[in-house]
Amino acid sequence: MIELKNISKDYTVDKKVITALKDVSVQVNAGEIYGVIGYSGAGKSTLIRCINLLETPTTGQVFIDGVNLQVLDKIALRQARQKIGMIFQGYNLLTTATVYDNIAIPLKLTGLSKEVIAERVEKYLGIVGLSDRATAYPAQLSGGQKQRVAIARALSHEPEILLSDEATSALDPNTTESILALLLEINEKLGLTIFLITHELSVIQRLCDRVAVMENGEIVEQGTVVEVFTQP
C-alpha cells in the first residue's frame, strides 16, 4: 500500500549538493507498523516527507495504493493526501485555538458540514482519551496530551496511513509508553497502517512489525524486528 521505489533526494545549498537519500526502496503492507531507525542526519525525516510529497524526490517514485502521487494534479493529490495523516515531535498545534478547533479547523477546510465535524471531533477525542479537554488551549495541556490532540486531528480525516515523525521523542518514558500503546490500539482497532521514524530502538521494539535501518541516506538493513536486531 505504500511503495517507495528507488528514491533519491539531493538538496542544493550554496551550489553544494547534499545527498539526503540514495536509491531507497521500501514496501509497506496495509495494516503493518513499519519503522525506520537511524542516527540524526541519516535521511529519515526526508524519507517520511517523501511519502506525502512534502518533499519531492529528485528521482524515484512514490505509490500509495498503487497510485503514483507524482503524476497527480493538485486536486487529485489533495484527495490522495486525505489517506495520509501525520504527527510530529513538535505536535504542530495552533496555540491560539482550543483543542476542539485544532481538530475542527482543518476539517472545515475539507468542506464537511458542522454536524459531521462535531461528530468527528467527539469521536476522535474519545479515542485518544481527551473528551473532557475540548475547550482547553494547547498551553494548558501536558506534552502527552498535546500529542494526543495531534493524533486525534490526524485521525479525524479518517486516513488509511499514519506517518509518525519522532512522535515520542520529546516525551518522558511513561508518557512515551502511553502514546506507543495508543498507536498500537489505533493500528489494531482502526486498522491504520503506521509508518514511523525514530532514533530509539525501544520504540521499534515496542511497535514495529518490520524495520529498516538507515545510514547516510541508505537503507543498510531491512527485515522483521527479530531478524534485524538479533545477533547471528
Binding site for ligand ADP (CB under 6 A): 11, 13, 18, 20, 38, 40-46, 98, 100-101, 114, 118, 134-135
Cell of 194: 503506521
Which among 29, 34, 62 has a CA at the least distance from the CA of 213?
34
Question: One-letter amino acid identity for 140?
Answer: Q
Q: What DSSP designation does 38 have?
A: -
As measured in angstroms, the least distance from the Cβ of 48 to ligand ADP is 8
| Nearest CB to ligand ADP, comparing residues 45 and 164 | 45
Residue with cell 495494516: 31
As measured in angstroms, the least distance from the Cβ of 66 to ligand ADP is 26
CB 49 within 8 A of CB 217: no
| Nearest CB to ligand ADP, comparing residues 13 and 71 | 13
| Nearest CB to ligand ADP, comparing residues 159 and 217 | 217
| Nearest CB to ligand ADP, comparing residues 42 and 192 | 42
As measured in angstroms, the least distance from the Cβ of 125 to ligand ADP is 9
Q: How far apart are the first and last CA of the chain?
A: 31
As measured in angstroms, the least distance from the Cβ of 24 to ligand ADP is 11
Residue nearest to ligand ADP (CB): 45
As measured in angstroms, the least distance from the Cβ of 115 to ligand ADP is 9
- H or E segment to which residue 9 belongs: strand 2-13
Query: What are the backbone angles phi and psi of residue 217, rounded to the nearest 5°?
Result: 80, 5
Cell of 148: 494526543
| Nearest CB to ligand ADP, comparing residues 67 and 170 | 170
